[in-house]
A and B are shown apart, each in its own frame.
Chain A
């Protein structure tokens, strides 16, 4: 069975539409979401910065696994993406 060209992922429980081949970071950006993590010390919001796996600012929790780089992780139908707080544990 071939994958659908468009599907939904969940961001903090809200469905977002996503194209096949997008990263999680691309799907969030396309939906207008700018931040999905808060920092350990200042609890400041962070999202995409370098976009190529260098800076680790875009860390996110996907399907229960924390600290993944949203700019690298390919989105899959039904992915449960959650804002990551502090160290993500």
Chain B
């Protein structure tokens, strides 16, 4: 077992984590950046290995210059010993150990492949959790067919490998994230047959203040729209995918247009051929670690379970800060601002002089949060998708639980909240532990009990005592409970 001792452990090397780490390190604090990825950047600035092909960041990335300059500066500080960069470190548990936190990691690109490699524990006096988010999914007929992938998965294949997911692709779901996904695919040689967006950006007209506070976002969206037009990609607003077609692999999708009441307008159903459907309905914050630590949570505007933080990004647990998507989905710009605030606050709590630019940062955070809140209201999940789930529609992909089993757990067996549904029908009990079906199961449970989805429904699928699969031998081995006297690495 390798052990490290630092002042501050930042978990996650995406936008929020990098910003937090740099802010704290520059304030004089010794920081470890712990990240599952082989290369820094998180999902947002995921980059290919050198051999993967010709990489032109401008065709795939926003804010790449900020990322590389931040990353370079962290590497410089790593040279002086101020920063410890721990890539390929998957955190599976965080525990209080005396007046410190013990961050337990397993190593590798896929830690299960090297189950015998020595684990690592990082001991830190403070924590910043910047654990990010992943695509939020909804079940629909055929969504388990090979060829149906998440929008973020298509993006990760492209950003991380420079591989386009398919030849004729449809990008669907809701939210502004669909546009960069479609744009990236089109620019790298895929034929994007259509973007199927359930909502309409015209909804932003209801939030003029929020839009004016974040005009850069508008320019970004306009840029994507222009390029999609040049690639002859049709963006169909107020349309939804009603089903994925094919027997053993995807051959097309059935789409329909929504009327003003959110119903599928009669006679608008049509089939579009494709070999890949990239679909996403916003994002689900990754909360295993904050929940392990007992951090308070709440439901955000987009119905995501998020960590509750104060003006300094401090969680309800003393010594633990959180930033980025884990505290509310809002994009990379907001994440970097929150990360910086969290890093500075954590540094200040360790006695560093680190409050220099607090007020402008907080104003910027407020504008970006305002924009994010408007975005969530403009791009809500349409009720129609879950309404159309028949008993046969698969919900839990791992345990192969259909919507009928969930309905019966509520209607026939009397479950009133999602935790009981999980125990009775087994959705969320398989490999992914409800990461994929948790949101949908929570919503279906609420729908069948005739109420709105609530925090306990979502917590039923977010509470995990082990954050990443760990070889059984690792669990059986005693955890170091002694404090190391220095960096054992």
Residues of A whose CB lies within 8 Å of any CB of B are 3, 5, 19-23, 25-26, 29-30, 34-35, 39-42, 44-57, 59, 62, 65, 67-69, 71-74
* A19-B52, A39-B400 given; A69·B112 CB < 8 A: yes
Asked if B141 is at the interface (CB within 8 A of a chain A CB), the reply is no
A26 lies within 8 A of B134 (CB): no
Q: Are B149 and A19 in contact (CB under 8 A)?
A: no
Whether a CB of chain A sits under 8 angstroms from the CB of B152 is yes
Q: In the complex, given contacts A49-B149, A57-B398, A73-B109, what are 13 additional A-B residue pairs having Cβ atoms less than 8 angstroms apart?
A: A5-B51, A29-B157, A34-B275, A41-B399, A42-B400, A48-B165, A50-B149, A51-B150, A56-B398, A56-B431, A59-B431, A67-B112, A71-B156
Q: Distance (Å) between the CB of B288 and the closest chain A CB?
A: 11
Contact A34 B147 (CB under 8 A): yes
Q: Does B307 contact A (CB under 8 A)?
A: no
Q: How far is the CA of A40 from the CA of B430 in the complex (A)?
A: 11
Query: Given that A46-B144, A51-B156 are known contacts, is A22 also in contact with B113, CB under 8 Å in the complex?
Result: no
CB distance from B449 to the nearest CB of A (A): 27
Find chain B residues with CB under 8 A from A41 CB: 399-400
Q: Which residues of B contact A42 (CB under 8 A)?
A: 400
Q: Is the interface of A mostly helix, strand, loop or mixed?
A: loop
A26 near B160: Cβ-Cβ < 8 Å: yes
B49 within 8 A of A: yes
Q: Across the interface, which residues of B come within 8 angstroms of A73, CB to CB? A: 109-110, 113
The A-B contact count (CB < 8 A) is: 126
Contact (Cβ within 8 A) B153 A48: yes
Contact call B135/A62, Cβ cutoff below 8 A: no
Per-residue CB contact flags for chain B residues 28-64 toward chain A (1 = under 8 Å, else 0) read 0000000010100001000011111100000000000
Q: Is B299 an interface residue (CB 8 A)?
A: no
A38 to B192, CA, bound (A): 28
Question: Among A34, A47, A54, A68, which residue has its beta carbon within 8 angstroms of that of B432?
Answer: A54
- Complex contact B161–A68 (CB within 8 A): no
Q: Does B435 contact A (CB under 8 A)?
A: yes
User: Which of B51, B161, B436 lies in contact with A55, CB distance below 8 A?
Assistant: B436
- From A22, A51, A62, B149 is in contact (CB under 8 Å) with A51
Partner of B248, one of A19, A35, A51, A69: A35
Chain A residues, CB < 8 A from B134: 50, 52, 54
In the assembled complex, the Cα of A64 lies from the Cα of B144 at a distance in Å of: 26
Q: Is B397 an interface residue (CB 8 A)?
A: yes
Interchain Cβ contacts under 8 Å between A and B, 20 examples: A22-B161, A22-B163, A34-B275, A42-B400, A44-B400, A45-B248, A46-B397, A48-B146, A48-B153, A50-B153, A51-B149, A51-B155, A54-B134, A55-B431, A56-B431, A57-B397, A68-B112, A69-B110, A71-B153, A73-B113
Q: Lowest 7 A-B CB distances belong to which pairs?
A: A51-B153, A21-B49, A20-B51, A56-B431, A26-B161, A35-B146, A21-B52
Q: B49 — which chain A residues lie within 8 A by C-beta?
A: 20-22, 74
Cβ contact within 8 Å between A26 and B113? no
Within 8 Å CB of A45, what residues of B?
Answer: 146, 248-249
From the candidates B110, B146, B155, B157, name the one contacting A46 in the complex (CB within 8 A): B146
In the assembled complex, the CB of A87 is this many whole angstroms from the nearest CB of chain B, namely: 10
Residue with the highest number of chain A CB atoms closer than 10 Å, among B52, B109, B110, B275: B110
Given A51-B153, A73-B109, A21 contacting B161 (CB threshold 8 A): yes
User: Is B179 engaged at the interface, CB distance under 8 Å to the other chain?
Assistant: no
What secondary structure prevails in chain B residues at the interface with A?
loop
- Asked if B425 is at the interface (CB within 8 A of a chain A CB), the reply is no
With A3-B51, A67-B112: A49-B150 Cβ-Cβ less than 8 Å: yes
| Contact partners of B165 in chain A: CB under 8 A | 29, 48
Name B425-439 residues within 8 Å CB distance of A: 430-432, 435-436
Task: List which B95-133 residues lie within 8 A (CB) of chain A.
Answer: 109-110, 112-113
Are the CB atoms of A44 and B156 closer together than 8 Å? no
Which residue of chain B has its CB nearest to the CB of A48?
Answer: B149
Evaluate contact between A50 and B144: CB separation under 8 angstroms.
no
The answer to the question of B154 belonging to the interface, with a C-beta cut-off of 8 Å to chain A, is yes
B409 near A: Cβ within 8 Å? no
- Distance between Cα atoms of A30 and B48 in the complex (Å): 15
Q: Which residues from A are CB-within-8-Å of B406?
A: none
Beta-carbon contact of B146 and A26 below 8 Å:
no
B93 nearest CB across to chain A (Å)? 17
Q: Specify which chain A residues have a CB less than 8 angstroms from the CB of B150 in the assembled complex.
A: 49-51, 55
* C-alpha spacing A50/B146, complex, angstroms: 12
Most chain B CB neighbours (cut-off 10 Å) among A35, A44, A72: A72
Q: Does B410 contact A (CB under 8 A)?
A: no
Task: Select which of B38, B43, B398 is within 8 A of A52 by beta carbon.
Answer: B43
Interface assignment of B381: CB less than 8 Å from any CB of chain A: no
- Contact among B53, B153, B432 with A56 in the assembled complex (CB-CB below 8 Å): B432
Complex-state Cα separation, A71 to B160, whole angstroms:
10
Contact A21 B51 (CB under 8 A): yes
Do B153 and A68 have beta carbons less than 8 Å apart? no
Taking the closest CB of chain A, its distance from the CB of B368, in whole angstroms, is 24
Q: Is B253 an interface residue (CB 8 A)?
A: no
